[in-house]
Amino acid sequence: MKKLYTEQEWKNHSLKKAYKALKNKIRKRRKDKKKHYLSKTIVGKLENVRLRKDANGIEAPSTFSLIDNIDETLNFFQSIYTVSNKFPHKRIQFDFSGIKNLTTDAILYLLSRMDYLHLQRYFHGGFSGNEPVDKESFQLFQASGFYKYVRTLRADKIQNNPNIYTIESGKLVMASKAKEVKDFIKHCLGKEESSNTKEIYTSIIECMANTRHHAYGAENRYSKWWFMASFDKDRVHFTFLDNGFGIPTTINKKFKEKVRDILGKLLPLEDTDAKLILSALKGDFRTKTKEGYRGKGLPRIYDTVKNKKIENLVIVSRKGFVNVSAGTQITLKENFYGTLLSWDIIK
């Protein structure tokens, strides 16, 4: 028989029911927060756990570095594209536990590629993973600022490292961030304000501005830059990345075809990407065509290399890898999406 309530009893019953429902809702929310799932925007909780059987596991190379081990590292990223296309609704899980050597460029490119996939309508799987077991790699991974761009429960455990300027990202020119990097370099190297630091500041500004030139048309929504800096002993290592189409693609088509006609007689067609990067670095395209690559950043950076104000300049874009300081050029087996620049400022 259905229970009958007086008016006051009914009010008390309703209040108890509402309170119980609210309590269950809060309990469920707390429980959800403890789940180790990841949003589509990059990684959630990362710890050294056994990989899930229902996830697509991808193992990072022991040297996870674009500068020191670019072929293996690009193969890792190529696996991400393959899995995301084949299983767009399944989570991708990264195994970083075996990393012995980690560099900042790989961390930036990881964030860039995951952010790019997050914007793809076909991919709904999300990401998860673990951390390097190696102590130095683990410390860099945590101190880099990677966790600023992910959903994680480890934020309260992250310790700031005064020798690292953590990852920054944006779409527009942010003079304040370029100034912060300049001040970080001055502080670490004990430098006063000089033409060196002013030139580095200007170069960073122009790299930010060039991000828009590297992404055009309908793809502008993907254009974004990322950078970070780290200090070690007598030098500051600076890494800048944009995720546009890259230097070779943005060079004027007709002018590029003329260059390929000339270079094609001397070397295979695919070998021209590194040549195009080097030519853009020297300012050839900026001065010889009104519609070609117009960035002043690369020629300015090239001048700082010639004047020995920076060292170990490396530029990677599409299938071109150029170590400017060492004078070497490599044709990559896999595409690099965007443009990467890294260099050292010496004490």
Dihedral (C-alpha) 73, 79, 85, 90: value to the nearest 10 degrees?
A: -110
Q: pTM for this one? A: 0.77
Q: Are residues 198 and 340 in the same domain?
A: yes
Q: Is residue 26 part of a domain?
A: no
pLDDT at 28: 67
Give how far Cα 5 sits from Cα of 8, 19, 122, 200, 299, Å. Answer: 8, 19, 54, 78, 84
Q: Are residues 166 and 138 in the same domain?
A: no
Q: Are residues 48 and 177 in the same domain?
A: no
pLDDT at 309: 83
Q: Where do we find the tokens 């690009």? A: 74
Q: Are residues 151 and 184 in the same domain?
A: no
Q: Are residues 77 and 186 in the same domain?
A: no
pLDDT at 154: 60
Alpha helices in 130-266 (DSSP H): 135-143, 175-189, 195-214, 247-250, 253-263
Tell me what the pLDDT averaged over the chain comes to.
78
pLDDT at 197: 79
Q: Are residues 63 and 92 in the same domain?
A: yes
Q: Where do we find the tokens 């002043």? A: 296
Q: Are residues 332 and 318 in the same domain?
A: yes
Q: Is residue 320 part of a domain?
A: yes
Q: Is residue 16 part of a domain?
A: no
pLDDT at 213: 58
pLDDT at 22: 75
Q: How many CA atoms lie within 13 A of 283 on its CB side?
A: 8
* The domain boundary residue, chosen from 123, 145, 160: 160
* The domain boundary residue, chosen from 160, 182, 199: 160
Report, as ranges of residue numbers, the positions in the chain whose pLDDT lies below 50.
1, 33-54, 215-219, 252-254, 267, 269-270, 286-294
Is the distance from CB of 44 to CB of 150 less than 8 angstroms? yes
Q: Are residues 240 and 295 in the same domain?
A: yes
Q: Is residue 304 part of a domain?
A: yes
Q: Is residue 155 part of a domain?
A: yes
Q: Are residues 146 and 179 in the same domain?
A: no
- The CATH number of the domain where 247 resides is what? 3.30.565.10
The count of domains in the chain is 2
- The CATH number of the domain where 144 resides is what? 3.30.750
Give the pairing of strands 101-102 and 164-170.
unpaired
Q: Are residues 196 and 323 in the same domain?
A: yes
Q: Is residue 22 part of a domain?
A: no
Q: Which domain holds residue 84?
A: 31-160
Please name the amino acid found at residue 196: N
Q: Which of 62, 57, 107 is nearest to 83 (CA)?
A: 57
- In eight-state DSSP terms, residue 250 is H
pLDDT at 150: 81
Q: Are residues 93 and 36 in the same domain?
A: yes
Q: Is residue 171 part of a domain?
A: yes
* The domain boundary residue, chosen from 160, 179, 201: 160
pLDDT at 252: 45
Q: Are residues 152 and 252 in the same domain?
A: no
Q: Is residue 21 part of a domain?
A: no
* Dihedral sign of CA atoms 141, 143, 148, 152 in order: positive
